[in-house]
Amino acid sequence: MSKIVILGAGISGHVAATHLRRKLSKQHEVVVVSPNSNYQWVPSNIWVGIGKMKSEKIYFPLAPLYKKKGIQFKQAKAISFHPEGDKTEQTPYVLSEYVVGNQKGQQEKITYDYLINATGPKLNFGATEGLIPGKNKAYSVCTYSHANHAWGGLNKVIQQLKAGKKAKILIGTGHAKSTCQGAAFEYILNVEQELRKHKVRDKAEVTWISNEYQLGDFGMDGMLMRYGSLTMKSHEMIEMIFEDRGIKWILGAGVHKVEDGVAHYENLEGEHKSETYDFAMLIPSFSGHGFKAYDKNENDITEKLFKGFMIVDADYTAKPYEEWSVRDWPETYQNPNYKNIFAPGIAFAPPHSISKPRKSKNGTDITPAPPRTGMPSGITAKLVADNIIDSIKGGKKSLHHKGSMGNMGAACIASAGFGLTKGSGVSITTFPIVPDYEKYPETQGRQLGKTFGEIGLAGHWLKLALHYAFIYKAKMKPFWWLIPE
Ligand SMILES: Cc1cc2nc3c(=O)[nH]c(=O)nc-3n(C[C@H](O)[C@H](O)[C@H](O)COP(=O)(O)OP(=O)(O)OC[C@H]3O[C@@H](n4cnc5c(N)ncnc54)[C@H](O)[C@@H]3O)c2cc1C
């Protein structure tokens, strides 16, 4: 009999829990620990943030589903890791704290045989002075409640524009090392289209601000891609889209301070500049949660488990950009020191960025962090679950299932306007996510046939279809497992 504890019920944690429960008999325990009582399909927050989808459509309560399926659910957050137990508890455990509104709840030791850390990122708003969702006219769409606030702020500006005022809208990254440019890109396109729908586009100046060196970098060093019969760089495609829609851009910008309607940033030239706005949506930097780890004698062993995010089977040796290899990226997401601990999705520490690191003339690091989007988050969670299932069923440790971001693709379907006939979408498919210069030396590390961009209504339909398919899958409706990650 084994007990598998999963920390987090986001894309990774929920995928792992559902597959474990489906494939393991009920004598094995599957326990999910997560502070949010709801599951949310994060990618659809974009539509919540333009008022086109109610947030209730993208989340549902976990407790009834887990009860029905035989998954234990603790609405709590992990605080510290004790992979050897301690003097009183001889089994590995995680110390967790129950979440009771904003009050501190009771603490509990949750023991495990296998532990899956799927806690994703901490949305590190604190790393940028004044960047607080809903304050200083700056918003976020990273959670459904943030996205609801963002729509409130945007709607106010739209009403002002309708009354004849002019306004400046600023969307992009809110820190020199933010990731998730894809989400901000999707949001700016949707906001721009909404302004046109409300017939106020001519009164608004819309600007993209980002830590990317070039447009279309997306934290993946940009890409050479097919676009129709053409082969072009991703920056050319995004430039074309922005020019077509009259969107301005500021690049190589590390936003470090936000005041009421003003974003202060340093650029790669080392200049300190500011940009005013009436509405901003700025993605914060992502960081680890600051977990601590202790051995059985209660000595601090945090560095054996964490390097910001959780340490897994990546090659963390510090080396220059020219020596980075696709082989630096992890394949099993197993912690090398405690082999019953895994970290799929965003929770694992990447070996380095994917984009070339760049510093400003003052030495400030202004480089997008590597994205770990929904598809790799789901795939890595499923392979971790499959390895645990094989180990339990086979009676010996198995790491047969492997998948690196260097042999995995990502499809970023950025809806660029809502509506079954008037919507639009920009689809960018990349293979692999981490460029493999040995396999694809002629095409800048990517397989051209599988790396392509498309613009059109079909992209919007696909994004909408994925929304319904993934909510269906997450609710574990009949044959949910046939829908791939
Ligand atoms: C606005 C937006 C749009 C996006 N659009 C797309 C898209 O179109 N396509 C795509 O592929 N990707 C998209 N992404 C990225 C995608 O959402 C992420 O890749 C994915 O959510 C990562 O999954 P995860 O499970 O690793 O982390 P999360 O989804 O962040 O889940 C982490 C979980 O851990 C829980 N947790 C946090 N702290 C603790 C703790 N101490 N103890 C226990 N649990 C804890 C959280 O409550 C949460 O349940 C988008 C992201 C954003 C923000």
pLDDT given at position 105: 85
Q: What is the pLDDT of residue 457?
A: 74
Residue 220 — very low, low, confident or very high, per pLDDT cuts 50/70/90?
A: very high
Per-residue pLDDT, averaged over 67-88, amounts to 97
Per-residue pLDDT band at 102 (split at 50, 70, 90): low
Pocket test for ligand 1, best of 40, 66, 119 (most atoms within 8 A of CB): 119
The pLDDT, as a whole number, for residue 236 is: 94
Mutate which of 81, 124, 377, 428 for ligand 1? The one with the most ligand atoms within 8 Å of its CB, which is 377
Q: Which residues contact 305 (CB under 8 A, 6 or more apart)?
A: 81, 83, 291, 293, 311, 335, 337, 338, 341
Q: What is the pLDDT of residues 108-161, one digit of tens each?
A: 999 999 999 999 999 999 999 999 999 999 999 999 999 999 999 999 999 999
Determine the atom of ligand 1 nearest the C-alpha atom of 345. Answer: 26
For the chain, the 3-state helix, strand and coil shares in percent, each to the nearest 5, are: 30, 30, 40
Least confident of 118-122, 291-295, 376-380, 426-430: 426-430
Which atom of ligand 1 is closest in space to residue 77's alpha carbon?
42
- Residues having CB closer than 6 A to ligand 1 are 7-13, 33-36, 42-43, 45-46, 77-78, 118-121, 141-142, 180, 183, 289, 345-347, 372-375, 377, 412
Whether 82 and 93 have beta carbons less than 8 Å apart is answered as yes
Q: What would the DSSP string read from start to end of 173-238?
A: ESSTT---HHHHHHHHHHHHHHHHHTT-GGGEEEEEE-S-SSTT-TTTT--EEEETTEEEEHHHHH
User: What average pLDDT does this structure show over 340-364?
Assistant: 97
Quote the mean pLDDT of the chain.
94
pLDDT range class, residue 421, cuts 50, 70, 90: low
Number of residues written out for the chain: 485
- Taking residues 37-46, report their average pLDDT: 95
pLDDT band at 73 (very low <50, low <70, confident <90, very high): very high
Q: Would you identify the CATH topology of the domain 3-123+287-394?
A: FAD/NAD(P)-binding domain (3.50.50)
What pTM did the predictor assign? 0.95
Q: Residue with the nearest Cα to atom 1 of ligand 1?
A: 142
Would you state the pLDDT for residue 297? 96
The pLDDT of residue 479 is above 80: yes
Q: What pLDDT score does 428 carry?
A: 85
More confident residue, 484 or 462: 484
DSSP state of 300: B
pLDDT digits (tens, 9 = 90+) for 308-342: 999 999 999 999 999 999 999 999 999 999 999 99
Averaged pLDDT for residues 187-200: 94
Q: What spacing in Å lies between the alpha carbon of 295 and ligand 1's midpoint?
A: 29
- pLDDT for 266 equals 98
CB 111 within 8 A of CB 84: no
Task: State whether residue 391 is helix, strand or coil.
Answer: helix
Nearest alpha carbon to residue 307 among 352, 374, 272: 352
Alpha-carbon distance 224 to 443, whole Å? Answer: 7
pLDDT of residue 132: 97
Domain segments of the chain as ranges: 3-123+287-394
Give dist(CA 183, CA 172) in Å, integer: 9
pLDDT in tens, 369-397: 999 888 999 999 999 999 999 999 999 99
- pLDDT band at residue 416 under the 50/70/90 scheme: low
pLDDT at 463: 77
Chain position carrying tokens 């789901």 = 378
In this predicted structure, what is the pLDDT of residue 420?
62
49-74: b or e for each residue (b if 16 or more CB lie within 10 Å)? bbbbbebeebbbebeebbeeeebebb
**What average pLDDT score do residues 280-295 get?**
98
Mean of the pLDDT values across residues 247-275?
98
Give percent above pLDDT 90 in the chain. 87
Residue 99 has a pLDDT of 86
